[in-house]
Amino acid sequence: MAKRLIILPKVLVFDVWSSFAYFRKSFTTTTALTYPFIPRSSIEGLVGAILGLDSDEYSNKLHDSKIAVAILNKVKKFPFSTMHTHVDAWKDFGHYLKTGSMHISPEKFRARVKIELLEEPKFRIYFSQKSNTQSLLKHRLQNHETIFTPYLGTSSMLANFEYIDEYDYTATPDDEAVAVSTIIPFTKTPPKVHLENGKTYAFEQNIPIHITADREVTGYYDAAYSPNGFNIKVSQIETQTIETKSGREYIAFIPTEISP
């Protein structure tokens, strides 16, 4: 009997970085805070920019893609202030242009907004999808081509990227404790983290999974991670094993939807 050929799924790996990044937490008000790493929804936007997908189509076309992210540079946040103009003030300004008379205080015209930025962020993205999307993305990355300008959070924070490789991956046995190089996403039950000396651990909550064309969030996930980019040894969570040129690596895909 002929042996059955088993074709393993592949994951595409590339790095992305910038001088600054800003992934705003939508629930913050007085001071706009940033997530410490790029959320899945922003990765979909980044991949969509490289592929040339419009803002109203990438959330649907990349909805089922498997995505993981690793922190390569230490998470560094710093406060920053910007000046915003009140929308209603432009009505008074228009009146001034017509009549030359304007009674408006500087406080009404502008407002100082405090935000939080990431400094020198760098991430490793793992992407897999059963379609020609992955092969097209691989071609773009290898040739350092992009259709739209990639950025990290806001259009003023332009991003650079570099193709790393493409690897086979398989599911890791559930009962095995492994050192995972990516963030550890979860939706309900957190993973069992095996603490190790000299490593820093943190948890982040309410990270958007998808953002639709109407700017609506379809779900949230939480994540355990190391702000210094260290591997985290965990168990009781689904992970994937990939064989790289430098050895075996374990990653955890971000969920595509909230489990019932």
Those residues of the chain that have pLDDT short of 50 are 1
The count of domains in the chain is 1
Residue 93 inside a domain? The answer is no
| pLDDT reported for residue 229 | 93
Query: Bridge-partner residues for 32, per DSSP?
Result: 115
| pLDDT reported for residue 212 | 79
| pLDDT reported for residue 42 | 94
Q: How many C-beta atoms surround the C-beta of residue 211 within 10 A?
A: 20
Distance, in Å, from the CA atom of 57 to the CA atom of 54, rounded to the nearest integer, reads: 5
| pLDDT reported for residue 82 | 76
| pLDDT reported for residue 72 | 97
User: What domain range is 195 assigned to?
Assistant: 10-81+113-251
CATH number of 229's domain: 3.30.70.2660
- 101: Cβ contacts below 8 Å, ≥ 6 apart: 95
Residue 107 inside a domain? The answer is no
